[in-house]
Structure 1
Amino acid sequence: MSWLEDIGKSLPIEKIYDDLASGAVREVGDLAKNTVKAARCVLAPIDYLATQQDRFQRYLQRVNEKVPEEQQVNAHPQIAGPVMDSLKYVEEESVITEMFLNLLARAIDKERVNEAHPAFANIISQLSPDEAKILYYFERKEYLLKQKSTFYPSTNTFGPRDTNRNEFPIECLMYPENYFMYIDHLHSLNLAGLWQRGNQEPTYAGGQQNGVIITSTTQLTPFGELFIKACVPDDIEVYEK
């Protein structure tokens, strides 16, 4: 069975048949005639785009502009299928959409197709714009975080961590109060996280330990570095609302 047939299994076949009578689907022929070579590479396995034809034509033009025509090859369905399906559910001008288009561009670029991991489409679909921005900043430098945890001698336990200093510019986020939740999510996706630097530093009051200072730094995983290289835009600020 060819890879073109394989991707057919991931498409909503019954819905395709329901829509075959619509005027939008009858325009697919014009789509094939009017789009650039990227359309043939990305859409070779996918015919079900008619209800959003104009929007997808614009997407394909953007992908085409990212890859010289002489370098374009057919996208693998494990990437093209999930990406094209996910694009139906995101805003046209958003950082998440751009990440999907960057991944498609890698998938049709014979010089960079090795960067297009099949897992990336699913990862993008799970990210918020704030998390995409965090990855963008993490690629550029490490950010120091200092937290304090209170020590309770009576129970020999430590309390929750309170932040003393955070070098990451959380004010650039839409929801800065979610920063640590975002970090936990990025860690669960094996993209990035906070790593403790050195040993915890005990603090004292009245000759007794009353807490510890924990110093951490932001860090990308190797998988996260590849994800950013393949998907995250070079300038994320242009997607600010």
Structure 2
Amino acid sequence: MGDFLGMGKVTDKTMEAAKAVYPDLFQPATKQAGKALETVFELGNTILLPIKLLNEKARLNFEKHMKKYEEKINEIPQENVTSVLPDIGLPIIDRLTYLTNEEIADLFINFLVSASIDNTVSQAHPRFINILNSISVDEARLIKYFYEKSISYIPVIDYDLNIEESGIMYPPRTEASITIIENGNNLKNEIELISDENINLYLNNLESLGILIKTTEKHIVKALDVYEMIDGMNWNKAEEIKEERLFDLRDQYPNQNSNISKRYGFYELTSLGETFVSICNNQ
């Protein structure tokens, strides 16, 4: 074994310790898991895997995740299993040594399984690792929600406060338009979230990651009942916010007319998002 960073003797000992933790995965081609991860474990020293596995918590964590991986990959015929590319396998293996949340870990494990199978490996893009590293537990639940419900959209309504200048000789002109509720939605009734007050943050983050895209001034026809529920949950709140904002703006816009308008829209999975949801769940 090569001397990695001048630590040859230590590396030999720690690799033996790592083999003792989960020997099947360090024995190439003895099982589907060994066949898929042989190259990855050969390069394990580059992420200091043997040393990390000397830590008991990391070892137990890693062993638990690897057992899940092995259970999934052993359901695949061996002839359909392929070697995982190191640029995908190494960062996932490294993450699984310290990832404690089971919901996010499951997405990583499913992605690793997808990268181990002939007919899905081409869709297992390295960018997905960065996406997985950038989502919260609630966002992982949103990803799972898309898969389990077999839907690709989330209906939303934006509520705007419009302040108008009116006159006898001309029609009303909008002087100001302020969004008072953004992305009113029904998700808290669909998904058990840890922090449902952060839904906007989650939607914006998934949009920035290229998973979702927002469309406004349009609506999903088959989701009219959902829009009705959203409006029922938000209209009174919009009226309350309207009164608060008008009080703050009374000096700037005295004696002006005001109204609330609604902009129907939806978040939709992008083509990248559809692949990501499938690859990280369909195992």
Instruction: Flag whether TM exceeds 0.5 (same fold).
Output: yes
Q: Of residues 81, 97, 100 in structure 2, which corresponds to 1:72?
A: 81
- The CA distance in 1 between the partners of 2:102 and 2:5, in whole Å, is 30
Correspondence for 1:97: 105
**Contact 2:35–2:83, Cα closer than 8 Å, also in 1:** yes
Q: How many residues align?
A: 216
Partner Cα separation in structure 2 for residue 158 and residue 16 of structure 1: 65
Task: Give, in whole Å, the separation in 2 of the partners of 1:133 and 1:89.
Answer: 20
2:160/2:261 contact within 8 Å kept: yes
1:220 aligns to what? Answer: 269
User: Structure 1: which amino acid aligns with 2:114?
Assistant: R
- Aligned counterpart, 2:34: 39
Q: Find out whether 1:21 has 2:41 as its counterpart.
A: no
- CA distance, structure 2, for counterparts of residue 15 and residue 43 of structure 1: 24
Q: Secondary structure at the match of 1:216?
A: strand
Residues 1:122 and 2:130 aligned together:
yes
Gaps of 5+ in 1: 1-7, 200-205, 235-241
Query: Does the CA-based 8 Å contact 1:197-1:217 persist in structure 2?
Result: no
**Is the 1:19–1:25 contact (alpha carbons within 8 Å) kept by the matching residues of 2?**
no
CA shift at 1:46, angstroms?
2.3
Distance 1:104 1:61 in 2: 11
1:164 deviates by 8.9
| Match of residue 156 from structure 1 | 175
Correspondence list, 1:1-241, <5 A: 13-14=4-5, 17=8, 18-22=10-14, 24-25=17-18, 27=20, 30-31=23-24, 32-33=26-27, 36-47=31-42, 48=44, 49-50=49-50, 51=53, 52=59, 54-55=63-64, 57-91=66-100, 94-139=102-147, 140-141=150-151, 142-153=153-164, 156-162=175-181, 165-169=184-188, 172-198=192-218, 208=257, 210-232=259-281
**1:237 corresponds to which residue?**
none
Unaligned runs of 5+ in 2: 54-58, 166-173, 220-254
| Amino acid aligned to 1:162 | I
Amino acid aligned to 1:128: S
Task: Work out whether residues 69 and 113 of structure 2, in 8 Å CA contact, stay in contact via their aligned partners in 1.
Answer: no
Deviation of residue 72 (structure 1)? 0.6
Aligned to 1:45, what secondary structure does the other structure show?
A: helix
Residue identity (%): 23
Give the distance between the partners of 1:58 and 1:168, measured in 2 at CA. 33
- Give the whole-Å Cα distance in 1 for the aligned partners of 2:264 and 2:146: 17
- Using the TM superposition, give the Cα deviation of residue 231 of structure 1 relative to its aligned residue in structure 2, in angstroms: 0.5
The residue type equivalent to 1:197 in the other structure is E
Runs of 4+ off more than 6 Å: none
Matched residue SS, 2:263: strand
Question: Measured at CA, do residues 133 and 60 of structure 1 come closer, stay the same or move farther in structure 2, by a change above 3 Å?
Answer: closer
Q: Aligned pair in 2 of structure 1 residues 127, 29: CA closer, same or farther (>3 Å)?
A: closer
**Structure 1 pair 136/194, CA: closer, same or farther in 2 (3 Å)?**
farther
Which of the pair has more CA radius of gyration? 2
Matched with 1:5 is none
- 2:187 aligned counterpart, secondary structure: coil
